[in-house]
A and B are shown apart, each in its own frame.
Chain A
Amino acid sequence: MSSITIFDPAMCCSTGVCGPSVDPELTRIASALHKLEAEGVEVKRYNLANDPAEFVQNEQVKELLKTEGADALPFVFFNGHLQTTGDYPSNQELATYFSIDPQQLETKKPKLKIDLKSI
């Protein structure tokens, strides 16, 4: 079974609405992960503020944190292998790796509400 594991920086909530302003990137990745999960990918997310034990138990993460610092979070693992640090993977990246239709992860643009006949 394919899996994705993310070690997040210390956050109050994973969408960032508790911060001074909402980070759309956090919403995007949260939503994309939710869809990946629906496609059968095993998704695990650990937040430094709430799940510090996971950061200690995983030797690779513990070492990364020591060498790269907390600013280098998030650490993203695909099937147990380190994929990226410092950023969340793009939807394209996720779709390619987990061989699913990128359309399924893609953001739906708001539909044009203008009726062409009225122009």
Chain B
Amino acid sequence: MFERFNPSPEALTPFLFFTGKGGVGKTSTACATAISLADQGKNVLLVSTDPASNLQDVLEFNVQRDPKAVPAVEGLYACNIDPEEAARMYREKMVGPYRGVLPDDAVASMEEQLSGACTVEIAAFDEFTTLLVDTSVTSQYDHILFDTAPTGHTLRLLQLPTAWSSYLTSSTHGASCLGPLSGLQEKKTAYSESMKALSDPEKTQLMLVTRPESSAIAEAQRAANELLEIGMVNQHLIINGWLEALKTDDAVAKAFYNRQQDAVSKIDENSSKSISILPFVSHSLTGIESLRTWFSLQQEELGLQNETPSLPAPVHSIDDYVDSLIAKNQRVIMTMGKGGVGKTSMAASIAAKLSEKGHSVHLTTTDPADHLSGVVANAANLHVSSIDPKKEVERYTNQVLTEAAELSDSEREYLEEDLRSPCTEEIAVFQAFASIVAQSVHDFVVIDTAPTGHTLLLLDAAQSYHKEVERMNGQKTPDSIKQLLPTLRDPLQTSIAIVTLAEATPVLEASRLQEDLKRARIVPSWWLINQSLFAADSKEPVLANRATEEIKWIDTVQRKLANETVLIPWHI
């Protein structure tokens, strides 16, 4: 019913953005497209803008900040915009020359101010702009492909040109909260040019990658609409993981197949987007050769498996995890991991089980693309809420303006101007997050955090806030904020569950997330392996082969990464 995705260079614009919920195969699709274009004689640059990039896992090549030729593919270059790294370099550029010139405490205070969320966001955006408008870069390539961050973060990144540009236009007192990037005014032209490039259908095409599942397709649709609003009109939908025909009447395979048919039947056929598919494969899509053959792959010829392989070590059920939470009285529970691995449904399932056992539970999400509503039914002792960035900004703005009630009109005006800065969102969301964690005094609090990149930024904000709080102890700071980091770090109060799938990319990314958390002295203990085909025990060859592939990743999690491992079977 849909064409295979196998684009010719003529059909593609110079800039290509691959976006979609995490775990849908966005990076694999972007890499395979890049390889295909390069194989057809084009010069191609592949860029990851994900704070937790996994380009190196898929390409099996050490991707750096500067474009480097990918060995084995003539004409293909790759680089990685790491926001943390970009911010660090910006900070070093600003601070470096003054080390030893200004006193140490002055240098330290500069560094502190330049470690905030604003700096990270802006420094990353700045690099992104260079790739869009700097002709010395763009003239070298026929196509530049962006393997973008998970949806929520992408939206903010892509909306930044609009936000900053209108902010600069309406700024009457000169830059104030533009502090972290003092050179911003000079860059106004570059920013408005990137907006122009993004909204030109001849220059930029948006590739929305999704799985054949209703929730993933709905999310892709939401992202598409929001990006349409900022003018990205040239959009294409790619449905990845398409199961073409079944060979058995296995119940899991049928459910898998029916869910796929059901999901695509709901796609709005009147939408102007073109749609294509990519086939489900049982092997992992990493390495140049498997990516190169993917677009033209025929349905795999796989034999039936006779023996069921077994796991090297026993695993827990989700009930074991919930019992452990109750026994240890850990009242703050955060599910973390790569986007699309099912953090939301895990959080909902944990919250539901806690409430069934008679505990009072508050379930909430900080995911900018909110998909918690509809996952759980409200029980009397289960309260569900979400942190909506837009509403939080509104609340924060009102709160600040109310506290500033005695100000004169021009002072208010000045304050309102700073509140219009995009940095305000980080602060507002952060405050809401802190106040929900503080509720654990009364309830169990289960938080479905945002996809990895955003989560890291959020926690980093928590950390720099913590320093700020210590520094500015003369000022009134809500207890919820003072208590946040100590609470998250205390294993007697908090349990961090890493959610992953038994696949290469989610496991590797989750292990990097765990390392980052440990650096912030937050130590996860339980790993929840979600949607396991192995645990579902399917006999359909393509699914059974994928199940066998899962074993080494389950084993890796058990032996190297987790203290305790939960395995959850694939289900609809």
A contacts, CB < 8 Å to B: 9-15, 17-24, 27-28, 30-31, 34-35, 47-52, 55-56, 62, 65-66, 69-71, 106-110
Contact = CB atoms under 8 A, between A and B. Distances in A.
B113 A107 contact: no
Contacts of B404: 22, 24, 27
Nearest to A50: B182
A110 to B, nearest CB: 6
B472 A11 contact: no
Contacts of B113: 10-12, 48-49
Contacts of A70: 103, 105-106, 108-109
Contacts of A66: 103
A15 B102 contact: no
Interface stretch (B68-76, B233-241, B410-418): B410-418
Give 6 nearest A-B pairs by CB, closest first. A13-B177, A31-B411, A49-B113, A50-B182, A10-B113, A70-B106
A21 B105 contact: no
A20 B465 contact: yes
Contact of B477 (A20, A31, A35, A107): A20
A56 B102 contact: yes
Contacts of B415: 15, 17, 22, 27
A19 B415 CA distance: 13
B288 to A, nearest CB: 44
A47 B179 contact: yes
Nearest to B177: A13
Contacts of A62: 102
A55 B418 contact: no
Nearest to A18: B423
A55 B106 contact: yes
A52 B102 contact: yes
Interface string B471-492: 0100111100100000000000
A20 B94 contact: no
Interface of B: 94-95, 97-98, 101-103, 105-106, 108-110, 112-114, 116, 118, 173, 176-180, 182, 400, 403-411, 414-415, 418-419, 421, 423-424, 427, 465, 468-469, 472, 475-478, 481
B475 A23 contact: yes
26 contacts: A9-B109, A11-B179, A12-B113, A12-B177, A13-B176, A13-B177, A14-B177, A17-B427, A18-B116, A19-B468, A20-B477, A24-B403, A27-B415, A31-B410, A34-B410, A50-B94, A50-B182, A52-B95, A52-B98, A56-B102, A62-B102, A65-B102, A65-B103, A70-B105, A70-B109, A106-B408
Given A27-B407, A28-B411, A15 B418 contact: yes
Given A18-B116, A110-B406, A12 B414 contact: no
Contacts of A22: 400, 403-404, 415
A76 to B, nearest CB: 17
A35 B409 CA distance: 12
A69 B102 contact: no
Please report whether the interface of chain A is mostly helix, strand, loop or mixed according to DSSP: loop
B411 A27 contact: yes
B129 to A, nearest CB: 19
Contacts of B118: 12, 18
B475 A30 contact: no
Contact of A12 (B173, B180, B405, B407): B180
Contacts of A20: 465, 468-469, 472, 475, 477-478, 481
Most chain-B CB neighbours within 10 Å: which of A19, A24, A56, A69? A19
A109 to B, nearest CB: 6
B367 to A, nearest CB: 23
B403 A27 contact: no
A70 B109 CA distance: 8
B165 to A, nearest CB: 18
A107 B252 CA distance: 70
Nearest to B105: A70
Contacts of A27: 404, 407, 411, 414-415
Nearest to A32: B411
Contacts of A109: 406
A52 B94 contact: yes
Given A15-B418, A30-B414, A56-B102, A49 B408 contact: no
B114 A49 contact: yes
A47 B114 CA distance: 12
Contacts of A108: 408-409
Contacts of A19: 468, 472, 475
Contacts of A30: 173, 176, 411, 414
Contact of A21 (B94, B418, B424, B477): B477
B170 to A, nearest CB: 16
Contact of A18 (B406, B407, B427, B478): B427
A31 B403 CA distance: 16
Contacts of A12: 113, 116, 118, 177, 179-180, 423
A92 to B, nearest CB: 16
Given A17-B421, A48-B109, 6 more contacts: A17-B419, A20-B475, A65-B102, A70-B103, A70-B108, A107-B406
B465 A15 contact: no
Given A30-B176, A70-B105, A49 B110 contact: yes
Given A9-B109, A31-B408, A17 B414 contact: no
Contact of A56 (B101, B110, B405, B465): B101
A54 to B, nearest CB: 11
Contacts of B469: 20
A52 B177 CA distance: 17
B410 A35 contact: yes
A13 B179 contact: yes
A20 B173 CA distance: 23
A51 B177 CA distance: 14
Most chain-A CB neighbours within 10 Å: which of B109, B116, B469, B481? B109
Contacts of B400: 17, 22
A35 to B, nearest CB: 7
